[in-house]
Structure 1
Amino acid sequence: MKMSSKKYNNSDNSQEQTTYKEELSKKIKEQKVVVDELSNLKKNRKVYIQQRNSNIFFLADRSQTLSTSRKELDYLKKEL
């Protein structure tokens, strides 16, 4: 009986890893869109960032936001 429980745990673990990788892939795609959108904005356009766990947005620096988004994308790629 122990062997079957080990097999169950291994398949359970691989399922979790697959789900985690799918989530990472989804986040990477979303982050790529954000980076592309920020990259293609005109210089005079305003950018707002959302406060975490809130519906409040604050004016932000476009180039700083772009830099932060690129770093986040790099981090997500490394995680994958």
Structure 2
Amino acid sequence: MDSEKMQKQEEGVNRREQREELNKKIKEQKVVVDELSNLRKNRKVFVQQRNSNIFFLADRGQTLSSCKKDLDNMKRELQDM
């Protein structure tokens, strides 16, 4: 009985930590979306390739829509928890 109770407590703690981490990522993503939204039309945007130190020129509109989709997915994931 005690081991089951401890296991449930650990699962609760893990779930809470996951929610906190996801909330942190959502806040970061909101900042990215706001920054991209406030850029002037003629400003250049560079996107970093995953697992690399290389940046490539990207379309501001496409980057903004991609970031918004990521934010929506994170919010949906948080609601499902």
- Provide TM-score, normalisation by structure 2: 0.95
Per the TM alignment, residue 10 of structure 1 is displaced from its structure 2 partner at its CA by: 0.1
1:17 aligned to 2:15?
Answer: yes
Shift, 1:24, TM fit: 0.4
CA–CA distance in structure 1, aligned partners of residues 41 and 59 of structure 2? 11
The percentage of aligned residue pairs carrying the same residue is: 64
SS in 2 for 1:49: strand
Higher radius of gyration, 1 or 2: 1
Residue 11 of structure 1 and its aligned partner are, at CA, apart by: 0.4
Count of residue pairs brought into register by the alignment: 78
Equivalent runs, 1:1-80 vs 2, <5 Å:
3-80=1-78
The normalised TM-score by structure 1 is 0.96
CA RMSD of aligned residues (A): 0.4
Flag structure 1 segments of 5+ consecutive residues without an equivalent. Answer: none
Shift of the alpha carbon at 1:58? 0.5
Please report how far the alpha carbon of residue 9 of structure 1 lies from its aligned counterpart in structure 2 after TM superposition.
0.5
The runs of at least 4 consecutive aligned structure 1 residues that moved more than 4 Å come to: none
Shift of 1:40: 0.3
